[in-house]
C-alpha cells in the first residue's frame, strides 16, 4: 500500500504539472514568467516541481501573466483542497474536540458502507462513554486541546445512532492487542469489552479480531484508517489527519482492508478473544 502521505504529494505534483502546462501553452519560459511577475526564477521551478505550495496570490499572478485568468477559481479550489488533505491535529483541534466530532457528521450520514481498521484503540462508533472519555482525555492532555471533553463525548455518543438507523453497514477490524490495552481503568475497559460483544451482534455490524501471533504473509499492521464507501479514506497519523480521495490510493486501502479481513476471526471466535481479554483484567 502507498505511504500515507503519497496521495498528498501526488496531488501537489499534479497541480505543479498543470501550472507548467499553462506556462508552456502561453509560450513563456520559466525565466520570462518570473521576470513578468517580479519573482526570482527559482520560485517558478519550486511551484512547478511541488516543492512549494502556491498561495492564492501566486495563482492569480501566474494565470494573469499567462493570459488565463478564468482558471483562477478552479486552480485556487484545487490548491486549497490539497492543503486540506493533510491537517495537523493541533490545527484541526484548535477550536476544541467537540468541533472535530461535529465536523464529520455529514460524512457519516451519507456513507453506506464503513470499513474501519484499528491498530490503536476500539473504533469510535463502538466505544462506550467511559472509554471515549479516557481516549479523548488523553488526546486533550497530550495536545493541549481546549477543555470541552464532556461535550465531545456527548457528540460521539450521539453519532452512534447510525448503528441502529438508516441503511448503513459497518465492517470493523481490530488487532487483539487493542483488546488487551488498558484504556482508562479496569472498570472502563471491562465495560468496553462487554459492550463490544453486544454491539457485534447488531445486524449492521461485522466485527473481526486479528489474533496475536497470527502468521502474516500479507496484511502487516498499518496505520489506523476508515473507508467511507469507495469515495474517501481518513487515516490517523501521529501528527496529523490525512484524507485520501484519489481513486488509486483509495483502492490501495481497499486491498489492505481485504487482506487484513482475511486474517481476522469473527463470531464465536472473536467473542472468545474478547472474553479472554475480559478475564485477563482479573
pLDDT digits (tens, 9 = 90+) for 17-64: 999 999 999 999 999 999 999 999 899 999 999 888 899 999 999 999
Structure-model confidence comparison of residues 254 and 15, the more confident one: 254
Quick check: 280 pLDDT over 50? yes
The more confident residue out of 217 and 270 is: 270
Q: What is the residue extent of each domain of the chain?
A: 6-83, 87-280
In terms of CATH architecture, what is 87-280?
2-Layer Sandwich (3.30)
The 10s digit of each residue's pLDDT in 138-151 is 877 766 666 677 88
Is the full-model pTM beyond 0.85?
no
Average pLDDT, the chain: 85
| pLDDT on residue 17 | 92
- Local confidence band at 228 (pLDDT 50, 70, 90 cut-offs): very high
Q: Can you give the three-state secondary structure of the chain, one letter per residue?
A: CCCCCHHHHHHHHHHHHHHHHHHHHCCCCHHHHHHHHCCCHHHHHHHHCCCCCCCHHHHHHHHHHHCCHHHHHHHHHHHHHHHCCEEEHHHHCCCCHHHHHHHCHHHHHHCCEEEEEECCCCCHHHCCHHHHHHHHHHHHHHHCCCCCHHHHHHHHHHHHHHHCCCCCEEEEEEEHHHHHCCCCCHHHHHHHHHHHHHHCCCCCEEEEEECCCCCCCCCCCCCCEEEECCCEEEEECCCEEEEECCHHHHHHHHHHHHHHHHHCECHHHHHHHHHHHHHHCC
User: Is 1 or 196 the better-scoring residue by pLDDT?
Assistant: 196
- Residues 107-132 pLDDT 10s: 888 999 999 999 999 999 999 999 99
Q: Is the pLDDT of residue 12 over 90?
A: no
Assign domain 6-83 to its CATH architecture. Orthogonal Bundle (1.10)
Q: What is the pLDDT of residue 62?
A: 96
Amino acid at each position: 500500500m502507498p505511504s500515507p502521505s503519497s496521495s498528498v504529494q501526488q496531488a501537489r505534483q499534479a497541480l505543479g504539472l498543470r501550472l507548467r502546462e499553462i506556462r508552456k501553452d502561453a509560450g513563456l519560459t520559466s525565466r520570462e514568467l518570473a521576470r513578468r511577475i517580479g519573482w526570482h526564477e527559482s520560485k517558478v521551478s519550486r511551484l512547478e516541481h511541488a516543492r512549494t505550495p502556491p498561495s492564492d496570490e501566486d495563482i492569480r499572478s501566474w494565470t494573469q501573466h499567462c493570459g488565463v485568468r478564468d482558471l483562477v477559481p478552479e486552480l485556487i479550489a484545487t490548491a486549497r483542497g490539497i492543503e486540506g488533505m493533510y491537517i495537523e491535529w493541533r490545527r484541526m483541534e484548535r477550536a476544541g474536540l467537540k468541533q472535530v466530532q461535529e465536523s464529520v457528521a455529514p460524512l457519516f450520514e451519507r456513507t453506506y458502507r464503513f470499513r474501519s481498521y484499528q491498530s490503536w484503540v476500539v473504533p469510535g462508533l463502538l466505544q462506550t462513554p467511559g472509554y471515549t472519555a479516557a481516549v479523548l482525555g488523553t488526546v486533550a492532555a497530550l495536545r493541549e486541546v481546549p477543555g470541552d471533553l464532556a461535550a465531545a463525548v456527548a457528540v460521539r455518543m450521539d453519532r452512534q445512532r447510525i448503528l441502529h438507523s438508516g441503511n448503513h453497514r459497518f465492517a470493523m477490524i481490530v488487532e487483539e492487542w487493542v483488546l488487551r490495552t488498558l484504556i482508562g481503568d479496569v472498570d472502563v475497559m471491562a465495560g468496553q469489552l462487554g459492550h463490544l460483544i453486544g454491539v457485534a451482534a447488531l445486524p449492521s455490524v461485522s466485527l473481526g479480531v486479528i489474533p496475536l501471533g497470527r502468521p502474516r504473509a500479507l496484511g502487516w499492521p498499518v496505520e489506523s484508517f476508515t473507508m467511507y464507501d469507495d469515495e474517501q479514506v481518513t487515516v490517523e497519523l501521529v501528527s496529523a489527519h490525512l484524507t485520501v480521495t484519489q481513486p488509486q490510493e483509495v483502492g490501495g486501502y481497499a486491498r489492505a482492508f481485504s487482506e487484513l479481513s482475511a486474517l481476522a476471526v469473527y463470531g464465536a471466535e472473536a467473542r472468545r478473544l474478547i472474553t479472554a481479554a475480559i478475564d485477563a483484567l482479573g
